[in-house]
Structure 1
Amino acid sequence: MTGRIQREIKQSTPIGSLEEEAYLNVQRTANALSDEIGDLLRAHQLTPPQYNVLRILRGAGERGLTASDIGERMITRDPDVTRLVDRLEKRGLVERWRCTEDRRVVWTRISPAGLEALQPLDAPLHELHVGQLAHLGEEKLRTLVALLEEARDRA
């Protein structure tokens, strides 16, 4: 008997292990959930990494963060946070300035335009998350969160 993931990816040979099957399911599920979010963000002229940076900077407040701080907080790692922030700055969604004590340090904060860009996304993204996962129920969702955190701790 073949598993569902094996059928979905049209793999004719058996999956090597239960661990590999679980990994493939996590990847496939993350991709499916991310695609819907990407579609919503695209309608607002944002990519998922750009949204992630704006969300991080909104949470950081007026003080802002350095590029390395932003990189550490990203949901999906981006190897070139500086270039990502450059594009957001060109659109007026973030502001940057050099630290007066150490000119090598550049601070970034969300601009009023960036806050305006995020505001109309809050409710639709919440509704999308609810639509994607609420059917699992609270107990299964808490278990899922705990299992994913446990797996990530070992990664």
Structure 2
Amino acid sequence: MESTVKAADASAIPFDSLSQKVFLDLWKTYDILRGIENECLADFGISAQQYNVLRILESNLPAPVPTMELSRQMISKAPDITRMLDRLESRKWVRRTRPRANRRIVEASITPQGLKLVNEMHDAILQMHQRQVGHLKKREKEQLIDLLKMVRKPHRSASEGWLS
């Protein structure tokens, strides 16, 4: 069993294990980076999941994406992809269609307005990522990517999208 680990701050909060400290450090880091992301996206009136959907649809142009595939490719799983697409469609950023060959399938594609929004957001997104991790050197970013992949590996299946 791992020994108790003390935090480096003045309060010296004990942790039950080194694994717990790793988890809590990841959670705190996520919370900080997510706050920066929320600030950026709020300027455009869009959520992180909605932006993720638009980017997936943009990357698949000109082909539409079946909603089940769209859900699979998302970084953070949306509990109700249908409702999210309803909101995106009401803002004219996404269009849904049913292919003639199989009317049970619903496909989504990004509209010209949605593409315009993604393009308008481009520089702000780059600045956001710079603010989040720009202080790290290239090699440190590569090492962090490798470590995070190692953490995810035993918990993800190969069918869970590009960020396995």
Q: TM-score, normalised by structure 2?
A: 0.86
Determine the structure 2 residue equivalent to 1:147. Answer: 147
What is the rounded CA distance, in whole Å, between the counterparts of 1:44 and 1:71 in structure 2? 22
How do 1:115-130 residues align onto structure 2 when only pairs under 5 Å count? 115-130=115-130
Q: Deviations over 1:85-115 (max 9, x none)?
A: 1110011000111110111001100000001
Q: Structure 1's 97 and 5: CA in aligned 2 closer, same or farther, altered over 3 A?
A: farther
State the partner residue of 2:159: none
Gaps of 5+ in 1: none
Quote the RMSD (CA, aligned, Å).
1.8
Aligned to 1:19: 19
- Distance (whole Å) between structure 1 residues aligned to residue 78 and residue 44 of structure 2: 21
Which residues of structure 2 form unaligned runs of 5+?
156-164
The one-letter amino acid of 2:96's match is R
The Cα of 1:149 is off from its aligned counterpart by 0.5
Q: Which one of the candidate residues 6, 21, 28 is aligned to 1:2?
A: 6
Alignment size in residue pairs: 151
Correspondence for 1:89:
89
Aligned partners of 1:63 and 1:109 also within 8 Å = yes
Equivalent residue, structure 1, for 2:158: none
> What does the per-residue CA deviation read over 1:56-89, in whole Å, with 9 as the maximum and x for residues that have no partner?
1111112111111111111111111111011100
SS in 1 for 2:107: strand
CA distance in 2, matches of 1:21, 1:126: 30
- Say whether the 8 Å CA contact 2:36–2:132 is kept in structure 1: no
- Larger proportion of helix: 1
Paired with 1:31 and 1:6, the residues of 2 have a C-alpha distance of 21
CA contact (8 A) 2:54 2:114 kept: yes
Aligned to 1:58: 58
Runs of 4+ in 1 over 6 A off after TM superposition: none
